[in-house]
Each structure stands twice: as C-alpha cells, then as structure tokens.
Chain A
Amino acid sequence: MLSKEEILHIATLARIGVSEQDVEKYQHDLSEILDYFKKLDEVDVTGVEPIGHITGMQNTFRSDEHFDFGELGKEEIMKNVPEVKEGFIKVKSVL
C-alpha cells in the first residue's frame, strides 16, 4: 500500500491538487492497480530490446523553417489563452 506521503509526492509531481479524502482514495486505487502491474515480474526480458517505434521507424527529419497554419491565424489561437497581456501569454508569479 502506498503511504500518504508517497501519494502527496506523486500528486505534486503530477501537479494535481488533492484533498485529505482524495489521498485515501488514491492510496487504495493506485495500490490495487500497481499490484496488478507486478504480474510483469514473471516475465524474463533478458536481452530483449525495448520497443521504440512499433513498426521500426527511425528518426524523421524536416527542413528547419517555420510555416503558418490554420486559416484563422494567431488571433484565434490567442483567444484560447486565459490571460493575455500586450499580445503575450501572461504567466502567474512563481514566488
């Protein structure tokens, strides 16, 4: 069973706010599913290369130049931003 501290640590890494109640629920749910993941301990994977791209594609490259997309353009993109200042996305104060 994951401890309360572990749940709070994961929640902070995941940037998800949790209440006291949530912590208990996650302790139960996550532990149950993690136990299920343990099934993979049975599998011997010595010498097996992990999958990168499933059909074996290697790196793909494109030319290093910008291009515009979307008929509506920048203004329409910026309409989705919660807070804009002088045409820039406003980020909240960190400290």
Chain B
Amino acid sequence: MIRDLHQKLINKEITSVQLTEQYFDVIEKNDAEIGAYLTLTKKLAMQQAQFVDEKIAKGEEIDLIEGIPCAIKDNICVDGVRTTAASKILDNYIAPYDATVIRKLKECGAVILGKTNLDEFAMGSSTENSAYKITKNPVDTSRVAGGSSGGSVASVAAGQAVWSLGTDTGGSIRQPASFCGVVGLKPTYGRVSRSGAIAMASSLDQIGPIAKRVEDVAIILSRISGQDLLDATSAKSSDKKYEDYLTGDISGKVIGVPKEYVESLEGEIKNIFEKSLEKFRTLGAKIETISLPHSEYALPTYYIIMTSEVSSNLAKFDGIKFGMRSDDNVDSDINENALPKKLLETYLDTRKIGFGDEVKRRIMLGTYALSAGYYDAYYLKAQKVRALIRRDFENAFKTVDFIYSPTAPEVAFKIGEKSADPLKMYLSDIFTITANLAGVPAISFPIGAIATDGKELPVGGQLMGKWFDEEGMLNCAHTYEINTKK
C-alpha cells in the first residue's frame, strides 16, 4: 500500500496535500464512532504535505514514506504537540522535543495526522483504560479494539491512517492488530530507540509499526531502527532495508509450534490456526512441535517485572516538575493537615487524582514487590525465571527458524466484558508476553475470521523470530500474506 501511494505521488496522480485531506475527511466522518484519535495535528500535517509536494514539483527524489499520512500513539513525544499517554496527569503536557523515532520519520518526510488513544500509560489490553474515551473495534463497534495501542491499530483498520506507530510491552501492538485484522510488529528489544516514548516497563518496552501489509511494516522498521545515544539500551544499527528481504520464499524453513500454547486452543480459532499451518506446509516450510517448558510461569513473571518497573518509571509524575497538580485550595479526604498543601500532600493528592485505577493498582503492586524484604522473593526471583524463559527460546531456536501460534486465545471481546476483573484481562496477553520477556521480535498478521453476530471477527497469527532476525520473520509473514490475500 505504501509503495502504491508512493508511485501515485511521484506520477503526480495525487498530491500529498490531497492525500492528507482525504485521510482527515475519513477521520471527520468516522472517528466520532471509532474514537481512535486524541489529538489531530492538522497544521503540522499540512505543512509536511506541502513541503513534500514542493519537492515533487521540483523533480526531487522522495523517500518511500515521504508524503504518506500516519498516526502516532499518544505516549510518543512529538515536539510542540500535546502528549498525554491517555492520562489526566499529563492532560496539559506539551512535548518540548521529538522522540527519536519521530525525528527519524520527520527526516523521511512522513506526514503526521495526529496522536492516538491508548490504555492509560499503555496499561491494559482493551483501550478501555484511557482517561479520555474507549476506542472501538472498526470491525464491530460493540467490541474492544484491543490494547494498549488500540487507537493506533483502529486508525489503520478504519482507513484513518496508512500506517501508525504503537508501543508493545506485553503484546500491546500485536493483540490489537489481531483483534482489528491488521499487521503489527514488535521488533527485537533494543532494535528501535525508545527515547521520547513515555516509559512503562523499561526492560520490556519496544516501539513498532502497524499497517495493513507486512511489506509496509518492514518499510517503516527500516526507517525507525538503529542505535541512539539517547537510549543506552538500543542495539547497534544494522542499516538493513527490511523490505528488500521479502523474497516470498520460505521453502526449507522450520516453523516450531509450542505445544504449551496450542493444546488449550478450541473451536474456530483452532481450525483457523490449523488451516494456516497447512498453508505454511504447502509453501515449503516444515512444521515441528516444540516445547517451551516454562510457559506457564510467563504471566506471573511478566506481571512482577512489569509492575515493579512501572512503579519506578511513574515516580516522576509528582505534580512538581511537569503535568497536572492537585488544586492547592481544595482539601482532600486523605490528610487532615491545614491548607495550603505541603509537599507530601501535593504528591499524594496529585497522584490519587491524576492516575486511573489500573495505573494505581500496578504502581501499588510494583511498590510492594520492590519494598524492603520482598525484593528477593518477587523481582529477583522473576528475573531468574525470566532467564529460564529465555533459555527455552534459545533451545527452541537451535532447531527451528520461527515460533508460531495464534496471537491471542480469543477474538475481540465485548466492551465491558472483562473490565471488572484484572486477572481475567491479564490472560489476554498469554501468547504475546513471552516475546517481550525473551526480547525476541514478533509479528501478528491476519490468518482468518470468525463470523459472529453478522460480523467477521479477525483472528491473528503470531510469528516470533530469533533475536535481531526481523528480516527472516517478516519474509515468513509476507510469504503467507501474498499467498492468501487477493
């Protein structure tokens, strides 16, 4: 899709300004119902589009993504633009700099349409935890878009952006991509700089692209990856053009299917998954059953590490340095001290009012897990179990090239269906969190749909690759896609 639009731009069949206006028209028409965007950046987008059009008019060469409209998850900073992370505590925050990924995209001439909705601070699996609104699934608006990158994914699925950026800590790009029927990529830990992304759990977070085609996410990855001084955890640049590795040939490749993931599958998802395995076989891949023996410990491991890191990362929201502050002249029910409030009361009140329930629950859990006397039993233990989970992957990758399963054990659920039960909600991430724990790249792409209430609810397949083998994994998903889609 990006390639087609690029051709149209350089053939002067359409201008970037016209293209950008078309996308704003779609947003105008359907976003009241979908709720994908929190902020539109019309002025910025039109400036970027005009600049590209002038370059084309002058006969200058343009990049593949130049002049093509995209959407950015609202936990990634865009200079001069409100950036809320869908939290009231950042309601009035104007980012004073570009995230590294945004700087790179601007250098490539991408057109940024706006900032998209998410679960507050990316904590959730349904985008119901946003402090502003619920993003609905464009396929069936009575259902969730998934989360936490629900806005970024819905914007692509609803035709409100050609592609978008999300963040993925435990499945936040892949699970909504599966629910909305698009492609979502979580790169290897360290592949993409997180500087300027509002941190949730620093040992797990990655930024990644969402689009309708595998080739498109490959094109975007080539442009956002690379080492960055501002993110000390970022890995050495590869300078690969991932789109050049999409050969459409996977003959001889070995795909491992973890028995721990698929033995509990049932019904239509199981049928669709087995059909996709058959397809991979006819494309020349070899399917092998493998074991990831520590899989059952992944979810508690993930929730200990993630909440611990959350409690530390979110300590900076204190009502003093930036963001919201509780009203000095309104007494709260938590402290009997006289007004005006002193430092401690300002902290307590600001964080009580500014954060939503799920965010506070995770900060409390993480604070407990890191508190004196419990560190060894929780965080340290979890980081050791994580080492065993990584070892499972190392062993598996000795004999297979990719690991394959459904992205989620279910299709998009109804709005409100799980919001009362945090543990039940956490189980939505069961197949996706291991990629974050092990640090491997993973991609979700559509493999079928289940007819429910007159709607075709999408099902996603997830491929995980070896560390830093995005190109092989992307080619495998691409090969499946071009042999199944018209």
- Residues of A whose CB lies within 8 Å of any CB of B are 7, 10-11, 13-19, 26, 29-30, 32-34, 36-37, 39-40, 42-43, 45, 48-51, 53-55, 57, 60, 62, 69-73, 76-77, 79-83, 89, 91-95
Known: A30-B361, A55-B188, A81-B321. A40 touches B300 (CB 8 A): yes
- List 23 contacting pairs A-B, 8 Å CB cutoff, sorted by A: A7-B364, A13-B371, A14-B351, A15-B318, A16-B352, A16-B360, A17-B349, A19-B334, A29-B361, A30-B368, A32-B423, A37-B303, A45-B381, A45-B388, A51-B386, A53-B203, A54-B203, A55-B467, A73-B96, A80-B92, A82-B323, A89-B320, A92-B343
**B235–A55 contact, CB under 8 A?**
yes
8 further interface pairs, Cβ-Cβ under 8 Å (given A10-B364, A55-B468) = A15-B347, A16-B352, A26-B364, A32-B423, A40-B385, A45-B385, A45-B387, A94-B342
- Residues of B whose CB lies within 8 Å of any CB of A are 79-80, 92-94, 96-98, 188-190, 203, 229, 232-233, 235, 294, 296-297, 299-301, 303-304, 311, 315, 318-325, 332-335, 341-344, 346-349, 351-352, 355, 360-361, 363-365, 367-369, 371, 378, 380-388, 390, 422-423, 437-439, 467-468
- Please report the C-alpha to C-alpha distance between residue A72 and residue B294 in the assembled complex, in whole angstroms: 49
**B423–A36 contact, CB under 8 A?**
yes
B189 to chain A: closest residue by CB = A54
Across-interface contacts of A33 in B (CB, < 8 A): 303, 365, 422-423
A72 to chain B, nearest CB (A): 5
A67 to chain B: closest residue by CB = B229
- Please report the C-alpha to C-alpha distance between residue A3 and residue B153 in the assembled complex, in whole angstroms: 41
- Please report the C-alpha to C-alpha distance between residue A87 and residue B296 in the assembled complex, in whole angstroms: 53
Out of B203, B233, B321, B378, name the residue touching A37 (CB < 8 Å): B378
Across-interface contacts of A73 in B (CB, < 8 A): 96
Across-interface contacts of A14 in B (CB, < 8 A): 311, 351, 363-364, 367
